[in-house]
Chain A
Amino acid sequence: MKRIVTLTTRDLKESKKNGGCGECQTACKTSGVANQKCEKVNK
């Protein structure tokens, strides 16, 4: 029986190679990047 379930997430280490294009977006106007989406990955 597996005791650990790992969710599928974007590999941050991998994103060092395929990230940084800057095409992503820069609601709240006051308080991170947690809610942002990557233009490339979501194409």
Chain B
Amino acid sequence: MIHQYKLNGFNIVLDTYSGSVHCVDDLSYDIIALYNEKKSKDEIKSLMLDKYKKDGISEKDILDTFSEVDQLIESGQLFTDDVFKNANLDLKKRDSVIKAMCLHVAHTCNLNCEYCFAGQGRYHGKDAIMSFEVGKKALDFLVENSGSRHNLEVDFFGGEPLVNFNVVKELVKYARSIEKEKNKHFRFTLTTNGVLLNDDVIDFLNKEMDNVVLSLDGRKEVNDLKRKRLDGKGSYDIIVPHFQNFVKKRGNKEYYMRGTFTRNNLDFTNDIFHMLDLGFTELSMEPVVSKPDTDYALREEDLDKIYEQYEILAKEMIKRRREGKPFTFYHYMIDLTGGPCIYKRITGCGSGTEYLAVSPNGDFYPCHQFVGEKEFLMGNVNEGITNTKLRDEFKLCNVYSRKECENCWAKFYCSGGCSANSYHTTGSIQGVYEYGCKLFRKRIECAIMVKIAEAMDDANEK
């Protein structure tokens, strides 16, 4: 399977099953498309001579291009077959080891954001705080069920996790104390709205957190429209100085500014550029996923505008890199040479199998987006996984289990998408959130174009 598209002056051909990326001229682009339509070489030659006569393309040029294309086919970089379906069968029998955990240390929040999927941080329940004892049991469960995995990940999440900062500190201290004995390495992350981000907290996060996700939607009027304090006022004036102080002290360690765009700011690249103006360079901006009846839900008619925004962003990323002022947009950071193996690409995020979320009272859920939904309760810190049937359902969730993914060129980039989004939009974890697919495919097209532009720039510099 191949995918062809033109973007920003580049003709791009992607080969799905090998992962190959080709940048081609107009003649090759057309010839590859005709190969894909199973046209004969005589037919293709005749069509190309007609089309490119005025450009001085000769029969030899066409035959040489045939030769280049044939060489790529022979070397397994173009029109490759799917050789992974059988590997998928092995995946169903794979061990159940857990390597990542999302600890909901606080089901309460000091902001009241309108679009919050967690219902103002309470996950459709009452205010709740995780005790050290529950957190410790969760970490012990993670260690005991991680098999031979060395790297374990723990994300402090909420609600607002800094509301329960003392427990966060105690849990990190406990985890560090058992690393050597258990031969494990914990990688901690934390997601915060920034309200409680003072110097003491910053020093701790910079010492212990591998990544910190900071929630900001961009321009003041955009951020304050949705991200409000409990008194109804906007949060921008409080959180931006906190974030700037944090980033100044962060050094080279990883962080991400993480915004959400809605129908109210379809010009969201301006919010990304505003974050750049504020001095932030590691950026992520996500489309809101919400019930369709809200006034801020993204609609089908918004797609062209969103696509245009993604293209503007990609071009700006290339431009600023050339100017020596690079920035990171999370979704465009594809690692073509060191990206994930095919097993990871087929299985995706591992929710419900490799990844669990833990509620403040110690209940297990497949991921943070299922917390509080009783039908997705998988067990708890005292009894372990009790709902093995649900775990097995998630084990079977992968790119080959969704028939909608069968003919999608992007399936090894998205791994079949997010089960939570699928469930919340289609009612089934095996469903497909088609709107999200459309946005994802556009982002991948832009991301690969950025990689090609960067490769060309680097080659020209040499």
Question: Chain A interface (Cβ within 8 Å of chain B)?
Answer: 2-13, 15-16, 18-20, 22-39, 41-42
**Interface contact B338-A4, CB-CB below 8 Å:** no
Given contacts A16-B342, A32-B348, A33-B340, contact A6 B153 (CB under 8 A): no
Q: Specify which chain A residues have a CB less than 8 angstroms from the CB of B17 in the assembled complex.
A: 12-13
Q: How distant is the Cα of A7 from the Cα of B137 in the complex, in angstroms?
A: 47
- Considering only CB atoms, which chain A residue lies closest to B339 in the complex? A10
Q: How distant is the Cα of A27 from the Cα of B339 in the complex, in angstroms?
A: 17
**Interface contact B65-A12, CB-CB below 8 Å:** no
Segment from B223-231, B383-391, B408-416 that makes contact with A? B408-416
Instruction: Name the distance in Å between B363's Cβ and chain A's nearest Cβ.
Output: 19
Given A25-B100, A27-B213, A32-B414, output 14 extra A-B contacts at Cβ < 8 Å: A3-B24, A3-B25, A7-B22, A12-B341, A16-B83, A25-B187, A27-B284, A29-B157, A30-B289, A32-B348, A32-B440, A33-B348, A34-B447, A35-B335
Q: B150 interface residue, CB < 8 Å from A?
A: yes
Give 25 A-B contacts (CB < 8 Å), ordered by A residue.
A3-B64, A3-B65, A6-B72, A7-B22, A8-B337, A12-B342, A13-B80, A15-B343, A19-B341, A24-B340, A25-B151, A26-B355, A27-B330, A29-B191, A30-B286, A30-B421, A31-B436, A32-B414, A32-B415, A32-B440, A33-B339, A38-B339, A38-B340, A41-B338, A42-B338
Question: Chain B interface (Cβ within 8 Å of chain A)?
Answer: 17-25, 27-28, 64-65, 68-69, 72, 76-77, 80, 83-84, 87, 97, 99-100, 117, 149-151, 153, 157, 187, 191, 211, 213, 256, 258, 284, 286-287, 289, 330-331, 333-345, 348-350, 354-355, 368-369, 412-415, 417-418, 421, 436, 439-440, 444, 447, 451-452, 455
Q: How distant is the Cα of A17 from the Cα of B77 in the complex, in angstroms?
A: 17
Q: How distant is the Cα of A2 from the Cα of B68 in the complex, in angstroms?
A: 8
**Interface contact A34-B84, CB-CB below 8 Å:** no
Instruction: Name the distance in Å between A16's Cβ and chain B's nearest Cβ.
Output: 5
Q: Specify which chain A residues have a CB less than 8 angstroms from the CB of B97 in the assembled complex.
A: 22
Q: Specify which chain B residues have a CB less than 8 angstroms from the CB of A20 in the assembled complex.
A: 341, 343-344
Instruction: Name the distance in Å between A1's Cβ and chain B's nearest Cβ.
Output: 8
- Considering only CB atoms, which chain B residue lies closest to A1 in the complex? B64
Q: How distant is the Cα of A33 from the Cα of B76 in the complex, in angstroms?
A: 23
**Interface contact B99-A22, CB-CB below 8 Å:** yes
Q: Specify which chain B residues have a CB less than 8 angstroms from the CB of A38 in the assembled complex.
A: 335, 338-341, 344
**Interface contact A37-B22, CB-CB below 8 Å:** no
Secondary structure type dominating chain A contacts: loop
Q: How distant is the Cα of A28 from the Cα of B139 in the complex, in angstroms?
A: 23
Instruction: Name the distance in Å between A19's Cβ and chain B's nearest Cβ.
Output: 2
Given contacts A6-B72, A20-B343, A27-B256, contact A34 B413 (CB under 8 A): yes
Given contacts A3-B65, A4-B68, A31-B418, contact A10 B336 (CB under 8 A): yes
Q: Specify which chain B residues have a CB less than 8 angstroms from the CB of A11 in the assembled complex.
A: 18-19, 76
Given contacts A26-B355, A30-B286, contact A4 B341 (CB under 8 A): no
Q: How distant is the Cα of A16 from the Cα of B337 in the complex, in angstroms?
A: 15
Given contacts A16-B342, A33-B344, A35-B333, contact A7 B455 (CB under 8 A): yes
Q: How distant is the Cα of A25 from the Cα of B55 in the complex, in angstroms?
A: 50
Out of B338, B355, B369, name the residue touching A10 (CB < 8 Å).
B338
**Interface contact A7-B350, CB-CB below 8 Å:** no
Out of A22, A27, A30, A34, name the residue touching B418 (CB < 8 Å).
A30
